[in-house]
Amino acid sequence: MTIGDTGTFTDPKDGQVYHWKVMKDGKKWMTSNYNFKSPQSVCYDHNDANATEHGRLYLWSEVKNACPPGWRIPSQNEWYKLVWAYNTDDFRAIRDHLMKGKDSGFSITHSGFWAFERGFLGIGEDSVFWTSDKGGWEQGEGKLRWCFAVTNCASCPDVPEKNKYSCRFMADE
């Protein structure tokens, strides 16, 4: 595989077709958010129409088992390598290359998220993706994990596993 190669795969769990692309980091990534309907996943605002563009939002307990065969949850470091392959300034890389409609074909959309004590937040403003990394500490509401958050820059804060975020997978190597 070479950078720029594209294709599709069909998720055997539900027959949905997903596009993939070998990005500048040399890795094969899904180019849309995952949209498998698992028992506790939700569409933003419980509106099925939102799933078409934004995919579904998942608890950590579900997403770690949701990967289609041959795919996995990217680490925090893998997300950063993707961004830095386009520009070492994460804001410019995301704005100019990784958002929907830009030249990379990665197509990040601001899909929002669901916070366990606050509900749906951030559609049109934020994208938050699960990473495979365990967070740095625990707090009263449970374990924390790293996520990859996109607003006007990229960051990887600790977040509660009780929140629901989008998921993008990368191919196993």
pLDDT higher at 48 or 94? 48
For 65, residues 6+ apart whose C-beta sits below 8 A from its C-beta are none
Closest CA to 129 of 89, 94, 96, 105: 94
- Between CA 136 and CA 138, with CA 152 as vertex, the angle to 5 degrees is 15
d(C-alpha 90, C-alpha 102), whole Å? 15
d(C-alpha 142, C-alpha 30), whole Å? 29
d(C-alpha 25, C-alpha 105), whole Å? 13
- Least-confidence region, from 5-14, 47-56, 97-106, 125-134: 125-134
**Domain segments of the chain: what residues?**
6-171
31-85 pLDDT, tens digit per residue, is 999 999 999 999 999 999 999 999 999 998 888 788 899 999 998 889 889 988 9
Q: What is the DSSP string of 90-127?
A: HHHHIIIIIBTTSTTS--B--EEEEETTTEEEEETT-E
d(C-alpha 122, C-alpha 151), whole Å? 9
107-148 pLDDT, tens digit per residue, is 988 899 999 889 999 898 888 888 887 766 555 444 556 666
pTM of the model: 0.89
